[in-house]
Structure 1
C-alpha cells in the first residue's frame, strides 16, 4: 500500500501526453494548444475607420471640406481622397488613400455637400485603426500549452486560422460491474440498487471536454468481466472500471486485468475513501479500477483520474491543489490515512459536511470540493489552513 503522494508521483510520471491533432476551430474550445501559433496575416489587414464620420487629410488651416466620395465596410475598392476634400466613411471601412484622420459624424455640421467642424478638438491620425495594430504577420498569438478560451477562439478566427493543433482528448471506456445494479428507469427488485457510478463518470468526463465515451456493463462473472476488459482495451485510450477490485469472492477485475497483460502501477492507497484503487498501463493505455462505492468513485476520479486526463490533454499543473483555505470547524481523527472529505467553501471558509461514509452521496448535494487531511495529521483547529480540490 502506498501514500497519496507516491500515487500522484507515479501517475505524473506514467501518463503520456495525448497525440497532437488538428481540431476545427469551433471544436477546439477548452482544449490545449500543442504547438506555438503565429499570425498568418496582419490584423487589421488595411487601415480602417474606427468611427462613422468623415475621412480627411489633416490641414489645420482649412475650415470647410467638400464631400467627394463615400466608403462603406466591405467596400472592395481602394478609394483616393482628393486634396482638400472629405470622404464619408463608416466604421470598419477602408481609409481612402491620402486620408490620415477620421472626424466622428457627431462633431460635424453638414451644409449641402460640404462639412465644417472645429479641428482644434482633434489630433492628426485620430479614429483610424492602422494595418497590423492588433497583430503583424508572423506575430506570436498563442503559446504551446495555452488553454483555448472563447476569447482565444475569437483571436484565432480574426487571423483566419480555421484549425488548431491540440492535444487530442482520449477515448474513454467505462466498465460498470456488479450483479446488483439496475439502470435508471428500471424497477428495482429487492437487494438491487441503481447504477450511480456510470452517470457521474460520464458527466465528469464530458465536463473535462472528453466526448468519445463508451459504457460497458458486466455482471460478476469472470468471463463477462474479461470480455468487457478486452473490448475496452481494444477500443479506448483510458479505461475506467467501477467495482470488482477488492478481494471478495466475486471481485474478478484484478485477475482480468492481469490476464489482459495490463502492467500494475500500484494497488491500494493509504486513503479514505477509496483505498482499493488500482492503476495500470498497457502500452500507452491507462487503466483505473475504482472501488464500487459511489463516494469512493467520485473521490478517486477527482484526485487521480481527473488530473491524469488533464495531463494527457496538455494542461499545466494538473496535480496542483485548487487552493488552501481556513477551516470552519475542527477535525480530530486517528492519523495513518489521508482523508478526502466532502466539503463546501462558503464565505472563504471550508465547511466539512455530514455524511462522509463511502456509500453516502447526500453531502454531494451541497459539496463543491474535497478537503484533504494528510495522513500524518491528527488534529486541525478552526482557522487552520486545509487544501481543497474543486470539482
Structure 2
C-alpha cells in the first residue's frame, strides 16, 4: 500500500500525453496548444492610420496643406500622395505612399480645400501603425503548452489561422461490474441497487470535455468480465472500471486486467475513501479500477483520474490543490490514512459536511470540493489552513 503523494508521483511520471491532432479554431477553447504557433503574416500587413484625421508628409517649413484625396478603411487602391499635399484618412485605412504622419481630425483647422494645425503638438511619424509593428511573419505568437483563451483565439484568427494542433482528448471506456446493479428507470428487485457510478463518471468526463465515451456492463462472472475488459482496451485510451477490485470472492477485476496484459503501476492507497484503487498501463492505454462505492468513485476520479486525463490533454501540472484555505471546524482523528472529506467552501472558509460515511451520498448534494487531511495529521483547529480540491 502506498501513500497519496507516492500514487500521484507515479501517475505524474507515467501518464503519457495524447496524440496531436488539428482542430478548427472555433473548437479550441480551453485546449492546450501542442506546438508553438507562428504568424503567417506581418501584422499590420500594411502601414495604416491609427486615427481619423489627415495623412501628410511632415515638413518642418510647411504650415498649410492642400487636400487632394480621401481614404477609408478597406480601400484597396494604392494611393500616392504628392509632396506638400494631404488627404482625409480614417482609422485602419492604408496610409498612402508619400505620407509619413497622421494628424487627428480634432486638432486640424480646415478651410475650404486646405488644412492647418499647431505643429508644436506633433512630430513626424505620429499616429501611423507601421507594417509588422505587432508581429512579423514567422514570429512565434503562441508558445507550446499554453491554454487557448478567447483572446488567443482572436490573435490566431487575426493572422488567418483556421486550425491549430492540440493534444487529442482521450476516448474512455466505462465498465460497470456487479450482479446487484440495475439501470435507471427500471424497478428494483430485493437486494438490487441502481447504477450510480456510470452516470457520475460520464458527468465528470463531460465536464472535462470528453465526449467519446463507451459503456460496458459486466456481471460478476470471470469470462464475461474478461470479454468486456478486452473489448474496452481495444477501443479506448482510458478504461475506468467500477467495482470488483477488492478481495471478495466475486472480485475478478484484478486478475482480468492481468490476463489482458495490463502492467500494474500500483494497487491500494493509504486513504479513505477509496483505498482499493488499482492503476495500470497497457502500452499507452491507461486503466483505473475504482472501488464500487460511489463516494470512493467520486473521490478517486477527482484525485487521480481527472488529473491524469488533464495531463494526457497537455495541462502542465494538474496535480496541485485548487486552494489552501482556513478551516471553519475543528478536526480530531487517528493518523495513518489521508482523508478526503466532503466539504463546502463558503465565505473564504472550508466547512466539513456531515455524512462522511462512505455509503452516504447526501453531502454531495451541497458539497463543492474535497478537503484533504494528510495521513500524518491527527488534529486541526478552526482557522488552520488545508488543501481543497474543487470538482
CA contact (8 A) 1:178 1:218 kept: yes
8 Å contact kept, 1:30–1:209: no
Aligned to 1:347: 347
Counterpart of 1:253? 253
Report Cα offsets for 1:261-320 as digits up to 9, x if no partner: 212221111110111111111111110011122211111011111111122222112222
1:70-149 alignment, distance < 5 Å: 70-149=70-149
Distance apart, 1:229 and its partner CA: 1.1
TM-score (norm 2): 0.92
CA contact (8 A) 1:242 1:292 kept: yes
> More displaced, 296-305 or 35-44?
35-44
Are residues 1:231 and 2:231 paired? yes
Q: How does 1:322-361 map to 2 (within 5 A)?
A: 322-361=322-361
Count of equivalent residues: 391
DSSP-derived class of the 2:160 partner = coil
Offset, 1:354: 1.6
CA contact (8 A) 1:264 1:279 kept: yes
Cα distance change of structure 1 residues 199 and 88 upon mapping to structure 2, 3 Å threshold:
farther
Aligned partner of residue 7 in structure 1, secondary structure: helix
Q: Secondary structure at the match of 1:302?
A: helix
- Name the structure 2 match of 1:164: 164
> CA offsets per residue over residues 211-240 of structure 1, 9 Å max, x none?
322222223333332222111100011111
- Partner of 1:126: helix, strand, or coil? coil
Structure-2 residue corresponding to 1:220: 220
How far the C-alpha of 1:35 sits from its partner, in A, is 2.4
The Cα RMSD (Å) is: 2.2
The residue aligned with 2:318 is 318
Post-superposition CA distance 1:2-34 (Å, at most 9, x none): 211221122122211222223332223222222
Residue 306 of structure 2: aligned partner: 306
Is the Cα–Cα contact under 8 Å of residues 31 and 209 in structure 1 kept in the other structure? no
Identify the residue that residue 6 of structure 1 maps to in structure 2: 6
- 1:298 and 1:373 mapped to 2: Cα distance? 17
- CA distance in 1 between counterparts of 2:23 and 2:5 reads 35
Task: Give the unaligned 5+ runs of structure 1.
Answer: none
Rounded to whole Å, the distance in 2 between the matches of 1:72 and 1:343 is 60
Gaps of 5+ in 2: none
